[in-house]
Chain A
Amino acid sequence: MNKVLYILSLLLLGVSAWAQPGKTDDLLSLLDEQVSTSHVTNAFKSPRVINSHSMEMLSAGTLDFRILHRFGDISQGAYEFFGLDQASMRLGLDYGITPNLMVGIGRSTNKKELDGFAKYRILWQSSGGQHNIPVSLVWVSGMTINGLKDPIGIAEVPNTFVRRLAYYHELIIGRKFNERFSVQITPTIVHRNFVVNRLVPNELYVVGFGGRAKFSKRVAFVWDYAYLINRFPTNLMSNPLSLGFDIETGGHVFQLHFSNSVGMNERAYIVDENTNWAKGEIRFGFNLSRVFQIVKQDIY
């Protein structure tokens, strides 16, 4: 044992001794580089594009209270106040633990579903200096729990807890090209523990596309689409597509949009049958986000 430790310390000493001269040589230039390397921020105004997660994170110690609404079909006309009489909502709390890790929970009216997720930034797009990283890489994993009394609705099939669960995992690859333009592509897998028949796949493979075009200091145009690769039954027109505007006012972000999706968590808006954009079956919705700084931010 002692011998091993001896050799190990020798090796380490050797390495550090070998590393020393180089370090002192360009200590000054290293300092310069560190100053000029900067992380790219504000690719999106909030940690969501519209429905899907964006490449943005909450800063450490920040609590984001999110109120999401989706209304009924606009085509129902004036009697239903263009769908506004039928509101469905999700209340959510997201919290930034470190600059690169955030978690969140939410509860939706739709299926009385509870959802939770953890989001971790693997790479942070940055420019200048040594660490020039062209894209941000963010990993999101989450689960949803169907809270209906009888989610399956067949007398012979018991409603076990496990059958209420679904999971999703996604890798967000995003880049902010300039002050005005950011895009991201999101390979996603959604797993459902229980599906309605044997032709419906438990794992759904999805590719999400999101982006933002900012046209004034406070307003930006955002879009959010997901292509479902192996949905059964195949339904191209049911893929969730949302178009909208982000409006920033101090600590609030309003996201107003038109969409064909009803759901507000990953399982719901991707998996559930959405209405048909081409036939004008769209609905109005908004996300309201209020950010509170609850833990004083350390200097990183």
Chain B
Amino acid sequence: MNIKRYWWLLPLIPLSCTREYVEDLRGVCFERDVLPIFQSNCTQSGCHNSQDREAGYDFTTYDKIVSHGIEPGNYKASKVYEAIVAPFGEEAMPQAPYTRLPDEQISTIALWIDEGAKNTTCPDSGTCNTTDVAFSTSVTPILQQYCNGCHAGSSPQGNVNYNTYNGVKATVTNGKLLASIQHAAGALAMPQNGNKLSTCNISIIKAWIDAGAPNN
């Protein structure tokens, strides 16, 4: 075999090898990034809210979350982390019929514990962009963070199914989406057990609805 014939294989030799990660410049913001995950996925009725306190866990406020099962600075030793990564069994959370949290949300919780599980609030970016509002880039992220813990997945609650655009559109048409997040009289205040959405998030959803709730 004549080695010279195979010079074109050279590019297969590693060009460059680095070890980098995305640095979290601002740190994890508890109020914006972590609290909604707990409220949306863990505080359903019968679970870890202030009334039921299932197994002694209450995930509705910062003080109650860190009082139990969180070891600041050591996510691997934290019971809460163990439960959300457990593959099966009674310890695995969220329990059926709810499904495992996405990797991204598990990472956020682990990073927050690793940074000391602090009650961080994030500085308001100051601008609220309600001009270029699109379903996929503006509305879906809000729904995912605040609503889909209950209203998506394999068993959406209260006949509100945000797995698809059509499910969202249905609650726009019957007016329930806006009434619930604005805490209007006569409507079920949403998110349940959680804080009201920020003024900015509400105005983004409102701007999208006013534009005809397009699937864009």
The smallest beta-carbon distance between A295 and chain B, in angstroms, is 11
A247 contacts chain B at the CB level, 8 A cutoff: no
CA distance A17 to B96 in the complex (A): 79
Q: Are the C-beta atoms of B18 and A198 separated by less than 8 Å?
A: no
Most B Cβ at <10 Å: residue of A97, A103, A196, A197 = A197
B189 contacts chain A at the CB level, 8 A cutoff: no
The smallest beta-carbon distance between A226 and chain B, in angstroms, is 15
Q: Are the C-beta atoms of B106 and A196 separated by less than 8 Å?
A: no
Tell which of A103, A197, A202, A235 touches B111, judged by Cβ atoms closer than 8 Å.
A197
Given contacts A232-B107, A233-B103, A273-B102, whether A157 and B14 have CB atoms under 8 Å apart is no
Number of A residues, CB within 8 Å of B: 37
Tell which of A141, A194, A273 touches B12, judged by Cβ atoms closer than 8 Å.
A141
Closest A residue by C-beta to B110: A199
Number of B residues, CB within 8 Å of A: 32
Q: Are the C-beta atoms of A200 and B21 separated by less than 8 Å?
A: yes
Which residues 1-46 of B sit at the A interface, judged by CB distance below 8 A? 1, 6, 9, 11-12, 14-25
Tell which of A152, A193, A232 touches B19, judged by Cβ atoms closer than 8 Å.
A193
Contact code string A187-223 (vs B, CB < 8 Å = 1, else 0): 0000101111111101000000000000000000000
Which residues 68-109 of B sit at the A interface, judged by CB distance below 8 A? 75, 84-85, 87-88, 99-100, 102-104, 106-107
The smallest beta-carbon distance between A241 and chain B, in angstroms, is 13
4 tightest Cβ-Cβ pairs between the two chains A and B: A236-B87, A233-B106, A202-B19, A234-B85
Instruction: Give the A-binding residues of B (Cβ under 8 A).
Output: 1, 6, 9, 11-12, 14-25, 75, 84-85, 87-88, 99-100, 102-104, 106-107, 110-111, 114
A154 contacts chain B at the CB level, 8 A cutoff: yes
Given contacts A167-B14, A167-B17, whether A235 and B85 have CB atoms under 8 Å apart is yes
Instruction: Give the B-binding residues of A (Cβ under 8 A).
Output: 97-98, 103, 116-118, 141-143, 152, 154, 156-157, 162-163, 165, 167, 191, 193-200, 202, 232-237, 273, 276, 278-279
Q: A157 — which chain B residues lie within 8 A by C-beta? A: 22
CA distance A273 to B107 in the complex (A): 13
Q: A199 — which chain B residues lie within 8 A by C-beta? A: 75, 107, 110-111, 114
Tell which of B17, B87, B103, B106 touches A193, judged by Cβ atoms closer than 8 Å.
B17
The smallest beta-carbon distance between A193 and chain B, in angstroms, is 5
Most A Cβ at <10 Å: residue of B6, B20, B85, B100 = B20
The smallest beta-carbon distance between A300 and chain B, in angstroms, is 11
Tell which of B9, B23, B99, B107 touches A118, judged by Cβ atoms closer than 8 Å.
B9
CA distance A126 to B61 in the complex (A): 66
Q: Are the C-beta atoms of B85 and A237 separated by less than 8 Å?
A: no
Q: Are the C-beta atoms of B107 and A194 separated by less than 8 Å?
A: no
Closest B residue by C-beta to A278: B88
Q: Are the C-beta atoms of B21 and A197 separated by less than 8 Å?
A: yes
Closest A residue by C-beta to B81: A233
Q: B110 — which chain A residues lie within 8 A by C-beta? A: 199, 232-233
CA distance A198 to B110 in the complex (A): 11
Q: Are the C-beta atoms of B85 and A233 separated by less than 8 Å?
A: yes
Given contacts A233-B107, A233-B110, whether A196 and B12 have CB atoms under 8 Å apart is no
The smallest beta-carbon distance between B15 and chain A, in angstroms, is 7
CA distance A241 to B1 in the complex (A): 39
Most B Cβ at <10 Å: residue of A154, A162, A195, A199 = A199
Q: A234 — which chain B residues lie within 8 A by C-beta? A: 85
- Return 12 A-B CB contacts under 8 Å, by A number: A118-B9, A118-B12, A162-B16, A163-B18, A167-B14, A197-B107, A198-B23, A199-B111, A202-B20, A232-B110, A273-B102, A279-B99
Given contacts A199-B111, A235-B87, whether A156 and B20 have CB atoms under 8 Å apart is no
CA distance A42 to B22 in the complex (A): 45
Q: B15 — which chain A residues lie within 8 A by C-beta? A: 143, 162, 165
Given contacts A103-B9, A117-B12, A118-B12, whether A154 and B22 have CB atoms under 8 Å apart is yes
Q: B9 — which chain A residues lie within 8 A by C-beta? A: 103, 118
CA distance A269 to B42 in the complex (A): 30
Q: Are the C-beta atoms of B17 and A196 separated by less than 8 Å?
A: no
Q: Are the C-beta atoms of B24 and A197 separated by less than 8 Å?
A: yes
Closest B residue by C-beta to A154: B22
Q: B25 — which chain A residues lie within 8 A by C-beta? A: 156
